[in-house]
Structures are given as C-alpha cells and as structure tokens.
Amino acid sequence: MDTKSPFSTVLITGASSGIGEAFAHVAAGEGHPLILVARGEAELHRVRGVVIARYAVPVSIIVHDLSVPGAGDALANELEARKLDVDIIINNAGFGLVGKASELSRQDQLKMIDLNVRSLADITLRFLPQMIAKGRGGVINVASTAAFMPGPNMAVYFASKAFVLSFTDALHEETRGTGVTFTTLSPGPVETGFQRRAGMKQARALSRLIPKTAMAVAQAGWAGFKEGERLVVPGTMNKITAYALRGAPRRMILPVIRRAMGAAKAK
C-alpha cells in the first residue's frame, strides 16, 4: 500500500477537533486529499480552512451526524453524489459519558453505541470489499486504553472501545496479504473536547500518566499504520498500564477503575 501517494484519499470522521483534526494535518502534510466528516459545520469549515492554507491538497467536508439511524447510507450516498473515492479511513468519531449506567440517559448510552460501534463497523464494512479488490488502502480505528479493561462508571464507553479493538484485530488478520492494513490506535489521556462532553474533569486528574497531545497521538497512529502495525498505544507508560490491567485479575482491577472513574466525574 502506497500511503505516501497524493492520490490516496483519506476519509476522517470526527474531524472537527482533537485527534481527528490532528490526523487531517498529518495526512495532508504527506499530500493526501482529505474528506472530513463531522456534525459541526462551523468547526469543519475552520479545519478545512486551516488545512488548505498550509497544504496543497484538496479537502472536502461532509456535515453529518454519524450517530443517527441510516448514517452510513447517507454518507455513502453523499460520497457517490460527489464522485469521491475513499482509499484510507480513519474512524475517529466517538464520545463517552461518565457515571453509573443506571443513572445516565439510556438514549445517550445507546447513541454512544451507535456512534462508537455501529457507525465505525458500518463505514469499515462498506469500504472493505473495494479496498481488497484494489489491493491497497486501509483503516485506522481509534479505540482507547479503555479497550483493555472493563470500566465501571463508564461501562458503555469502555465496552464500545473493547469492540473496536477486537473488531480491528480480527480484520487485521483477515486481510493479511491483501495489501489492506488495519490498525487500532489506543491512546491514553489526551487533552481534547472529549472530557467536556463526557462530563469529566481534566485528563490529568484521571491518571499519573502524562497525557499525549492530539498531534502526538495522530502522528504515532499514522506512523504505525504505514508500518502495517496491528496496534498502536502511544507512550511507554500507557503500554505498560494497558497490558498490565488487561492481564490482572478483574476482581482486583474493577474496584480500582470504579474509584478512578468516579473521581473523574465533573461535579
């Protein structure tokens, strides 16, 4: 797969801020045309303006809420109508909520599943056959270190990211030798708008780990993808913590995570 080719078009969801916006700069910096998707029109236009001012690449924007029913069909129809081809997908759109599952809005939690799981799987599966047919392309699915453990007080979010990790691992193996690359990007704490939407305190209150910037995370994910890596966990301490928690007995780690996530909830 020639990921440096300026003819490889990169579609990025959740591209209006944070890691998605950072990915736009990383990919555009290597000459890739972009298709930026998010629900915030003003922010998408802002990102597009900054990117095209810095890089000589075409940038298309699609304003769309990927959590709504039929989102995948609407996105595919829009791409077809504009005659936009997709070679590389970065599924970054997602959100979390802090609190007990019994106390959070059921509809909001189901919407989280629709965005973090259903939309990601839908977009991936729609474009996978054509990638395999072309013998090139790939997908970066953005998960989290939350994917390595259950998350009391953030149960649906942690579970949704566990799906992303499992799903992407499996597709990485299924597409071995096809020219198509699947990479899971699992960052630890990152200072973005995620915390505000989730109802969390600042990321530094969640861990002694040093949060990575959105740009550092995007750069690590992109570099790993180009190397064909199955999994990228930016930061040595994030790697150690993620794998240690994954292997630890759940009876030990569940109370620890419950307390940590309870303390992370904004008052």
Domain-located, residue 79:
yes
Q: How many residues does the chain have?
A: 267
Question: Cα separation of 128 and 162, whole Å?
Answer: 21
Domain-located, residue 5:
no
Return the DSSP state at 139: E
Paired with 106 in beta bridges are none
Domain-located, residue 4:
no
For the domain that residue 79 is a member of, what is the CATH number? 3.40.50.720
Mean pLDDT by 10 residues, the chain (267 residues): 62 97 97 97 97 96 95 96 97 95 96 97 97 97 94 94 98 98 92 52 48 90 97 89 76 74 62
Q: Which of 148, 157, 222, 225 is catalytic?
A: 157
- The closest alpha carbon to 10, from 36, 34, 37, 44, belongs to 34
Domain-located, residue 2:
no
Domain-located, residue 227:
yes
Question: What is the identity of the amino acid at 45?
Answer: H
Domain-located, residue 102:
yes
Paired with 249 in beta bridges are none
Return the DSSP state at 3: T
Domain count, the chain: 1
What pLDDT is stored for residue 194 in this prediction? 53
- Residue 184: burial class (beta carbons within 10 Å; 0-12, 13-18, 19+): buried
Respond yes or no: is residue 157 known to be catalytic: yes
What pLDDT is stored for residue 1 in this prediction? 46
Domain-located, residue 3:
no
Domain-located, residue 141:
yes
Structural domain that includes position 54: 10-264
